[in-house]
Structure 1
């Protein structure tokens, strides 16, 4: 039996709204059986909790700032209504399509139904008569319009890591991997299972295959409620039909499916069970897809031509009547005519559909269902809050991070960049004699500057680039934010510390610095320490701003200030601004490198035959070589503090 053959599709056509099944019947769990598993004793049986979704008089408003027309006018705030009293219901086995022109509120309504909309939302949205909960969130699949996928992972890796995080911990890794292979087969992805997803800089799988991978990520949890935002956007007609055929099969297995769609072909339109038609946030039709043309004909909007029903519905939502000769005209008369058509459609909806629909939904009120709110239900919700443990999430995210970023961290260009700089620097400082203390100190400052700023600029891009993925996965309840953050932090260590290690190995010995193994190891540790601190600052800036342009601008200003105040260029900083150097981690790493390389009582040849004390050299004297452990502690506070700021900033991102 295929993956989507679960239970027979309920015959909703023979069951009126007022005759909905009782809650005790709805809560019966449908069981998925897989090929070759019928006689297996160790088979894991995934379950579906059939979900009836109801939304009643949903209203959503946003605040908009406007400036007065007069000179020096003040800003005023007004509310704009995005959704205006939208009502409907979807039962298990049905597909509800939301149609409407761009800006009509389709995606906003879908986001509200998925429990992901924040702001001034009013009305009532229930799932089997219950409000949205953590347990319901983990039985809801949400496929965004844009395919948010890691480009360097293969199709199998993408689905496997999703399965490891979203499937319950009662399943073993092998069982989850087997489930991934079934989903790959079900979605027709076998041919590209080992191909990379791809991104803007390199070619991967096709757009239709990416969309199926996105759907597959939600199929893995066997969702009771599947929400899809423009699943056919940007696809050709044949690929779009394949996608919707797959969705139709999923619905026939007892799932409740809601999708937005912009301009479906007639073949796609006839696959829908119900349609909600929106015009500027107002509903102008709700009901069976097959009865839409008949309804509009009954209120005076009939057409003499054979047309795609979706085309006619979208024309009406735009205020263009059927057989209108002025459909492409512009001007005030046309705008007035469109406004009159929209008002007529809204009025007809209120008169013919809205009142009857509210009455039918009232009769099917969940208070009539036979269900009880007991402690066991609360316990179940609490136990289902997370599918896996914190430690398990950390391990999976750590592995995924290493797999995804291995190409980015060790790409040829980046390796060439670091190695070429190290070799060139080694040649410029080739075997610098001990008497040239200025050049040696300059080399140590170059260490602190290069590995103080290079990791910072790389880290600035981290969270802005991963924001959409983080929001998507956190909204699905895949993991704790803390497990993601620590996995990202520790996952970067082997990738980010390898290149500076190679850099120091090359330039240290070529530059002729102190040829002592202990001194070399301590110098390497100071450089790696500086890398971690600068990376922490980059993560904090990126997480706070979440905008690459703004973050790079702030990073440039910060690095410039740290460079000037680092203790090398300006040795006698005026007292009123001397505090700047104590904010610069470059200052501390430079001081530590000096302290590792020299003691104040060391001597160097300041002129022929004359020895001078290192501690009296102006650059060293201005820095001082005492209290190095204090500098280590201050850098530790910076490392922890910057990362804590980044973590708290990511918490704020979830509220946006």
Structure 2
């Protein structure tokens, strides 16, 4: 059998495989302000292959914490205690790469809004599934689209807050598809119907039921399904305050609670009734009635546990504990990310148009303000001012834009990084690579208009090309400053505040407002990390070296106490730029690792 035939038959082979997810005596507690809070209190259970297992419970009952442990996403932390075992086909999930077999779908949909359904699934397939060539990727994506009933919207854009796209239910199915693309045997979902209407929720349950019929083990949390959805669940777990109060066939739940005195009338939806009797207003100050209900149901569950703990352990598929986790090469990661980024640019032409208009407007404005400069003292002062305006425009405009872009993309990056689709370096290099064409366009337009309109030093053609090179490097440095600010926060509002604050600090030490020798010794060091300083120095030295002054005493190089050659200041600017990028990458790495442990 060829690789192609093997891969394309994986979903069909699931029917003949059997994967049992089982957990025993799971305990989970968090220490907060010296006090230990118990979230899971020794729960045990299982999920059979080919079944829908629904986990219900009021807010704070421990549902999401349970899923995090079952999917091996809860990492050890100093303030967290976890005990118990989780096994897949009787192998502890910590002893092998469980991510091969178990996939987790978050409650929120973190998707790239400018991609279509087909493009999003293709992106996931190329990074998650090994050995597939282009025709095989297309075939696999088409299979998932058909499985999830997304054929009619396959070529529609997903959409975001700026652009209308898919419905909530369709976006949720795309999120599920991004996990199904790699042939998982166990699919775990956190509140997949959250925010969906009743009809859409039921449709989603039908999709999950079809996946279970393929042989997958489906585990999900759900808050309050309608009666028809409830009847679709094969098995059902009810939680309250970190305890299981029921686990068994869904069809037997009403009778179970009726036998211990909690009769659900026919006109009431059973899940609604269960939520009502186990609703607790304040878990830290429970009423006597709330305690009584919880104690009765918890004790009865423990007494009858053996009757319901009957997992299907026959003919379990053997787990390959030595199978290594697949990771695409860094070249593939960069290639796929660049293609997505360029697609994102094409789908948002207005943003590109705004950058071009910005370059035209700012260069024209400065050319009108400072044109027809000569060689006298006033003209030289005007040229020096124009060059500082250039420094500001080259650095401030891209830095402000990028400082906002990073927080916008942060949720998608963190989600995909947590899924180990790519690393920080490919993501960051992609950002840099995809911005370079626009930086070249902006710098070309700006330089051609402003250089010969003022004019700057036109005695030697090399002066213009050096000016252009410094300007382009300043643009890249502005982006790096934006990356740095944006990497420090997930809040757009905070980024908008932080960006100008950092910019003003660096501007003050840029060399135009104050002579180098007049800086306070306490803050003198800031000029060594100010990209404005090195940009302005390089531009001034390039402009006024070998300049025909009417009076040599008017030389700004001497007046501003600038030293060194153009290449030395350009090199320093490059080092500052690399330093900002490095710190930004470290910040992203720390954020990504922290998000992994949540």
Give the alignment's TM-score, normalised by structure 2.
0.89
1:555 aligns to what? 499
Tell me the distance in 1 between the aligned counterparts of 2:584 and 2:350: 25
Partner of 2:381: 438
**Aligned residue in 1 for 2:243:** 282
Match of 1:54 in 2: 22
In the other structure, the counterpart of 1:161 is 123
Indicate the residue corresponding to 1:588 in structure 2: 534
1:81 pairs with 2:34: no
* Aligned partner (choices 388, 392, 395) of residue 328 of structure 2: 388
Check 1:44–1:95 CA distance in 2 against 1; reply closer, same or farther (3 A cut).
closer
1:634 maps onto 2:572 in alignment: yes
Provide the residue aligned with 1:527 in structure 2: 471
Q: Which runs of 5+ in 1 are unaligned?
A: 1-30, 34-39, 66-76, 321-329, 605-610
Shift of 1:54: 0.8
The CA deviation at 1:316 is: 2.5
CA distance in 2, matches of 1:237, 1:546: 33
CA distance 1:105–1:505, shift in 2 (3 Å):
farther
Matched, 1:416 2:354: no
1:635 & 1:203 partners in 2: Cα distance?
A: 42
Maintained 8 Å contact 1:139/1:221: no
Matches within 5 A, 1:507-522: 507-515=450-458, 517-522=461-466
In structure 2, what is the Cα distance between the partners aligned to 1:582 and 1:308?
69
Moved more, 303-312 or 493-502: 493-502
Matched position secondary structure for 2:428: helix
- C-alpha change, 1:478 and 1:51, in structure 2 (3 Å) is farther
Comparing 500-509 with 557-566, greater Cα deviation is found at 500-509
- The alpha-carbon distance between structure 1 residues 152 and 41, as it changes in their structure 2 partners (threshold 3 A), is closer
Structure 1 residue 637, shift from structure 2 partner: 2.0
| 1:339 Cα offset (Å) | 3.1
Structure 2 match to 1:456: 399
Aligned to 1:647: 585
Question: In structure 1, what is the Cα distance between the partners aligned to 2:405 and 2:93?
Answer: 32
Counterpart position of 1:337: 289
Instruction: Rate the CA distance shift 1:171–1:586 in 2: closer, same or farther, 3 A.
Output: same
* Unmatched segments (≥5 aa) in structure 2: none
Deviations 1:302-337 (A, max 9, x none): 1344321211221232159xxxxxxxxx9x999432
Q: Residue 450 of structure 1: CA displacement?
A: 1.6
Give the counterpart of 1:539 among 483, 492, 507: 483
Alignment partner, residue 402 of structure 1: 342
Aligned CA distance change for structure 1 residues 593 and 271 (closer, same or farther; 3 Å): same
Structure 1 residues 506 and 60, CA gap change in structure 2 (3 angstroms)? farther
- Separation (CA, whole Å) in 2 of partners of 1:369 and 1:350: 27
- Tell me the CA shift for residue 655 of structure 1: 2.3
Structure 1 residues 195 and 293: CA distance shift in structure 2, 3 A: same
> Greater shift after overlay, 542-551 or 275-284?
542-551
Q: Which residue in 1 is equivalent to 2:62?
A: 105
Q: Which residue pairs with 1:567 in the alignment?
A: 511
- Secondary structure, aligned partner of 1:514: coil
Deviation for aligned residue 1:256: 0.5
CA contact (8 A) 2:22 2:47 kept: yes
Mapped to 1, the partners of 2:345 and 2:67 lie a distance apart of 33
Select which of 246, 261, 267 maps to 1:306: 267
CA contact (8 A) 2:239 2:245 kept: yes
Distance 2:40 2:372 in 1: 72
Please point out which of 177, 202, 205 is paired with 2:138: 177
Question: Does the aligned pair in 2 maintain the 1:594–1:625 contact within 8 Å?
Answer: no
Alignment of 1:330-369 (within 5 A): 335-353=287-305
The offset of 1:468, in angstroms, is 2.2
- Cα deviation 1:434-465 (Å, max 9, x = unaligned): 43111111111111112222222222234433
Q: What corresponds to 2:158 in structure 1?
A: 197
Q: 1:649 to 1:131 in 2, by over 3 A?
A: farther
**Which one of the candidate residues 552, 558, 577 is aligned to 1:613?**
552
Output the aligned Cα RMSD.
3.0
8 Å contact kept, 1:138–1:477: no
Partner of residue 146 from structure 1, selected from 84, 87, 108: 108
Contact 1:105 1:280 in 2 (8 A): yes
The SS at the match of 2:304 is helix
Shift of 1:602: 2.5
